Structures are given as C-alpha cells and as structure tokens.
Amino acid sequence: MRDFDHCFRLGGEEFAILVSDTNDHELHTIAERIRRTVAQTTFRSNDVTIKVTFSVGFTLSAQADNSWGEALERADLALYNSKETGRNKVSGETQRAVFYPMAFEHSHLA
C-alpha cells in the first residue's frame, strides 16, 4: 500500500483498501503485491508454523455509483470469482472501470 491509501476492516476476515489516483492495471498490481507478500510470509504461534493465503476482489468507482455499497458489491463479486477459480488470487471487476477519485468523499466508512 502507498502512504495515502487507507485500509478498513469490514468485519470478520473482510477488509477493504481505498486506493485513489489509479487505474485497473495499477490496482491489480497493488493487490497482487499485497497478496504475494502475505503468501510468502510465515507466521508462528505456539511453535506452530502458519501460512496464510487470501483471495482479492477489486473494482474501480464508477460515476454511476450512488454509494459505497454499490462499489463494494462489485468488489465482492470479483472476490467470489477469485475463490471460485482457484483461490489465493486477484480478480477485478472492470466492466465499468471509470475512476472518479472524489466520488465517495462524503462516505461514512472512515
């Protein structure tokens, strides 16, 4: 993540990262870098070695989005695509990949 990106815990094991000033290729690269870093890290707890992997779904905000919920729903669909096609991978929903960085400036997520 970059210094100006923000990470939010949505609940349980679900997180969202708000990335501004990017496009679908850069966003995929950022998500893949995070996924790979976690997959290469070994955690230890009570003499037990733990390897963690995870799936990522991403989307770009679209001018037609009326809320964070709409963007999160698309990211969730992309996440399920990652899980259904092999897990431990990054998938993006870029059908409406038009990025408007200020689209959610009045969000209640923060």
Q: Give per-residue pLDDT as tens, 95-105.
A: 544 333 334 34
User: What distance in Å separates the CA atoms of residue 92 and residue 78, rounded to the nearest whole number?
Assistant: 5
Residue 95 is predicted with a pLDDT of: 55
**What mean pLDDT comes out for the span 1-24?**
81
- The mean pLDDT of the chain is 77
**CB count, 10 Å around CB of 81?**
16
To the question of domain 6-93 being in CATH 3.30.70.270, the answer is yes
Query: What pLDDT is attached to residue 63?
Result: 63
Q: Which two tokens stand for residue 99?
A: 């990025």
- Asked if residue 107 has pLDDT above 60, the reply is no
Assess whether pLDDT exceeds 50 at residue 81.
Answer: yes
The 10s digit of each residue's pLDDT in 55-78 is 888 888 766 677 778 888 888 888
Active site residues: 13
- For residues 80-105, give the mean pLDDT: 66
